[in-house]
Amino acid sequence: MTNEQLVIQLKAGIHTAEYMKQLWEQNRGMIGKIAYKYKGYGDLEDLKQQGFLGLYDAVEGFDPDQGTSFITYAAFWIRQNIQRYVDDCCGVVRIPVRTREQINQYKKAVSQFKKWHGREATDKEISLLLQISLKQLEQLKKDAQMGQIGSLDSFTLQEEDGITVADLVPAADDVEETVLDRIQKEELKEVLWEIVDDLGEDQAGVIRARYQERRTLKDIAEKNNCAIEWVRQIEKKAMKRLRIPSRANKLKPFYDGVIFDQALKGNGVARFNSTWTSSTERVALEML
């Protein structure tokens, strides 16, 4: 059975012990991969056990009707459960979970920015990427230093402690694009275009032309025999509607993963600098 089918059976109370074990077997590679990133903060087996408990939380909260796959939904709960365990048992200084998550994202942004752009990011660029103020960024730096938190993304995948390459489920040729990343990107594509199509014919048409067909405002205007400014205003209104919480919240499961990673590549920072009020939606559209 698929993850989703197993979860439906579990939520109905059918063969819970058997099906939970099967769910664990089907997802232990992902749990191991996530736990391995936290290896410097505790015993690996303990971390994996916490990840398993996160799998339980994911089963309870998962709604198959939302259109997100279980593996994408569960990754959030597994990571959160491990982070809470690290905070409670392994941290030198106790830091709120949300703050630790922000620190981890800050460190990832700094590291990946340098990798993709060949230079250190400025505070302004990092603050725009994280969508926080410069004052908040300064406090985040202090929290990171106080907590003596090492980068959670500095560990490389290797065979040790009984963890095989198969257990960690890396991509075949490129460790930057994991199996989970590819699954999330495909799901993001489905979710995002469904949201776009809900905008109505004019706005959806302009957004699809701009981001699917990569056409300019002038091209769209000429095809529709209208003014460029009309097309510009349609796009502006569409992006504004995409930021309405009822729509934007559907992108949240993807933000810490594929959307955030894409924002650090290519011209991602430039897009954040010039269009930061709709950065999440724009970056998501640009990458599909």
Q: What is the pLDDT of residues 157-170, one digit of tens each?
A: 333 333 333 333 33
Average pLDDT over residues 40-48: 81
Same domain, 187 and 281: yes
Q: What is the pTM of this model?
A: 0.42
What mean pLDDT is predicted for residues 2-24?
89
* Number of structural domains the chain divides into: 3
More confident residue, 278 or 20: 20
Kindly state whether residues 122 and 137 are assigned to the same domain: yes
Cβ atoms of residues 283 and 268 within 8 Å: yes
For 241-258, the pLDDT digits (tens) are: 887 877 777 766 665 554
The more confident residue out of 52 and 179 is 52
User: Does position 96 have pLDDT exceeding 50, yes or no?
Assistant: yes
Lowest mean pLDDT among 90-99, 141-150, 166-175: 166-175
Do residues 229 and 282 share a domain?
yes
Q: Are residues 28 and 87 in the same domain?
A: yes
Instruction: Band the pLDDT of 149: cuts 50, 70, 90.
Output: very low
Give the burial string for 14-29 (b: 16+ CB within 10 Å, else e): eeeeebbebbeeebbb
Same domain, 231 and 205: yes
Residue 280 shares a structural domain with residue 199: yes
Mean pLDDT of 134-152: 68
pLDDT category, 132, cuts 50, 70, 90? confident
Residues 272 and 239 occupy one common structural domain: yes
Do residues 253 and 228 make contact, with C-beta atoms less than 8 angstroms apart?
no
**Mean pLDDT taken over the chain:** 73
pLDDT of residue 139: 84
- Per the domain annotation, does 166 fall within a domain? no
- Residue linked to tokens 């109370």: 13
- DSSP type of residue 159: S
Tell me how far apart the alpha carbons of residues 20 and 125 are, in angstroms, rounded to a whole number: 44
Cα separations in angstroms, 85 against 100, 217, 263, 279: 12, 50, 29, 32
162 in a structural domain: no
Give the confidence band of 155 by pLDDT, cuts at 50, 70, 90. very low
> Which pLDDT band holds residue 228 (cuts at 50, 70, 90)?
very high
- pLDDT of 271 higher than 50: no
Same domain, 110 and 194: no
Same domain, yes or no: 187 and 273: yes
Which residue segment(s) compose the domain that 86 sits in? 3-92
Percent of the chain past pLDDT 90, that is, above it, reads 9
CA 104 to CA 211: how far, in whole Å?
30
Question: Are residues 218 and 271 located together in one domain of the fold?
Answer: yes
User: Do residues 198 and 110 share a domain?
Assistant: no
User: CA–CA separation, 76 vs 224, rounded Å?
Assistant: 43
**Residue 97 reports pLDDT greater than 70:** no
Query: What CATH number is associated with residue 52?
Result: 1.20.120.1810
Residues 83 and 103 in one domain: no
pLDDT-derived band at 173, boundaries 50, 70, 90: very low
Residues pairing with 160 in the sheet: 163
Examine residue 158 and state whether it is found in any structural domain, yes or no.
no
- Which residue carries 């990673």 as its tokens? 261
